Structure formats: structure tokens, C-alpha cells
Amino acid sequence: MSSESAAILVTGAAMGIGRAVVEAFAGLGRSMVLFDRNGEALGEAARSLGSDILAVTGSVASLEDCERAVREGVERFGGISAVSHNAGIQRYGDVVTTTLATWDEVISVNLTGGFNIAKAAMLELRRHHGAICLTASVQGMAAQKGALAYVVAKHGLVGLVTAMAMDEAEHGVRVLGVAPGSVDTPMLRWAIEQDPDPEMLSAEIDAMHPLGRRARPEEVAAVIAFLLSDANSFMTGETVRVDGGLLARIPGAPRK
């Protein structure tokens, strides 16, 4: 059965990378389940895209909500053949300043959320020999100072991709991830505003990427769309960097 014969479930669908994924697949005529905890923004996104869209409000931190999103998607479209998981939050602090409540919040959304949506959808993905792509971060491969819980959660997502890929290969399910660098999303713009000098930090963020700028959400969405497509039939267990060369750079070269 083709993995493109049923609907796609997109988490974090109301804005940022998730919204760009939704728009990419809408352009391909795919049926979709849009899942996000921001009901107002989710409704606006769904209304703008047409009739083959089902909006489900809920949190990836709740397994019950994830199961409901899958169940309603199957009832509406007959099946779920792909999942694009993008929901996430950003919080700052080191091991001393990060409260247990903040730690639990970040881990529950950014790591357990990936487990929850995969657990809820996996039997459907097996049925359709489908695929799931988890949006991690370059901070799942390296660390930004002062972002302890976020870094740990994103490292965990990369591990979740690898582990699930090995478990699900025999069931015909491909498991993949993307690790974006800085992306021009509401979350990044919020983070920049936390700095005493947002303008300077914004310029620094652009400059730290060898391509000289942050990514646009649609650039990451295009990679996710390919990874989930049947054209990408022999790739699993890989988390692909979409980072403008950020992690490929080694500082310290002689000046010309």
C-alpha cells in the first residue's frame, strides 16, 4: 500500500515549521490532520486550506490527545500514512536555574511529545507502510549555552528517531528526523526578544550560519516533505541537518 494513500498528521501545525509543512502538503493535494494546542491559530490555518483538512486541538504532551487526533483522522480520512512532528517549546536555564517544573514542561512537550505521537500513530503507519519525521534541532547534536532542558530533549528526539527506525524497519515504517539551525519562526523571534540587545543577537544568529542567514520555515518543510514521500523509499534512521552549514563550520582558520 502506498504511504501516500491516506492522510498526513502534522503536529505544531498552527505556526512556524509545522504550518509550513501543512502548506507544502496542501500544495500537493494531500489530506491532513492538523494538531496543535493553539485552537484559535489552528482554526485559522484549517479554514485557509480547504475541505481536506481536519483540525484537532490538543497537546502532544498528552497521549490521550494524540490518540484522539489519530482516531479522528482515521474516521475522517480512512487512515494515517505519515506523521510530521513539529510541536515544541523553548525555555532557558542551566542546571542550577532550571526549575523542576520547567524541566518537566520542556521534556514533556519536546521529548515525550515525540514518543506520544509516534505511539499513537504507529499501528496506522505500519498498516500503510508509512513514515514519520520528527523535527529535532542542531541542539540535538550540539549545545547552546543556557538551554539545558531544550538541549537534552532534542538530543533525546534524535535518539528516538534512531531507536524507532530499528524497531519499525521490519514493519515497513521509515523513521526520520530533521535538525534545523535557526529558523525564522515565532519561537525564534520570542527568544531573540529575551536578550538585552535583540538587534545585536539577531545579527549574530544570521552570521553564525555560513550561508549568512537564518532559514525560512518553508525551506525546512521542503526537506520534511521529501523525507516523508515515497520518493525517499530507502532512507531511515537518519536525522538530516538543515542548518545552513552551521555545524559544518570549525572556527579558528587563519585570516586572509
- Of the ranges 90-94, 109-113, 169-173, 196-200, which one carries the lowest mean pLDDT score? 196-200
- Of the ranges 133-147, 198-212, 228-242, which one carries the lowest mean pLDDT score? 198-212
Q: Distance between CA atoms of 75 and 92, rounded to whole angstroms?
A: 40
Decide if pLDDT at 234 tops 90.
Answer: yes
Q: Report the first-to-last Cα separation within the chain, whole angstroms.
A: 56
Reported as a single tens digit per residue, the pLDDT across 179-223 is 999 998 888 888 888 888 888 889 888 989 999 999 999 999 999
**Residue ranges of E strands in 167-218:** 174-180
Q: Distance between CA atoms of 49 and 138, rounded to whole angstroms?
A: 31
- In the predicted model, what is the mean pLDDT of residues 161-176? 98
Domain range annotation of the chain: 7-180+218-241, 183-214
Residue 92 annotated among the catalytic residues of the structure = no
- Which pLDDT does position 230 carry in this prediction? 93
Reported as a single tens digit per residue, the pLDDT across 50-105 is 779 999 999 999 999 999 999 999 999 999 999 999 999 999 999 999 999 999 99
Of these residues, 9, 24, 150, 176, which one is catalytic?
150
- Which pLDDT does position 4 carry in this prediction? 59
Q: How far is CA 189 from CA 16, 134, 214, in A?
A: 11, 22, 11
Tell me the three-class secondary structure of 213-242, residue by residue: CCECHHHHHHHHHHHHCHHHCCCCCCEEEE
pTM: 0.93
pLDDT mean across residues, the chain: 93
Retrieve residue 182's grid coordinates: 535557526
Q: Distance between CA atoms of 12 and 186, rounded to whole angstroms?
A: 12
Q: Distance between CA atoms of 207 and 113, rounded to whole angstroms?
A: 32
Give residue 245's region: left, alpha or beta (phi > 0; psi -120 to 50): left
Is the four-CA dihedral 84, 226, 7, 22 of positive or negative sign?
positive
- Which pLDDT does position 2 carry in this prediction? 44
CATH fold of the domain at 7-180+218-241: Rossmann fold (3.40.50)
Helix/strand number for the chain, H first, E second: 9, 7
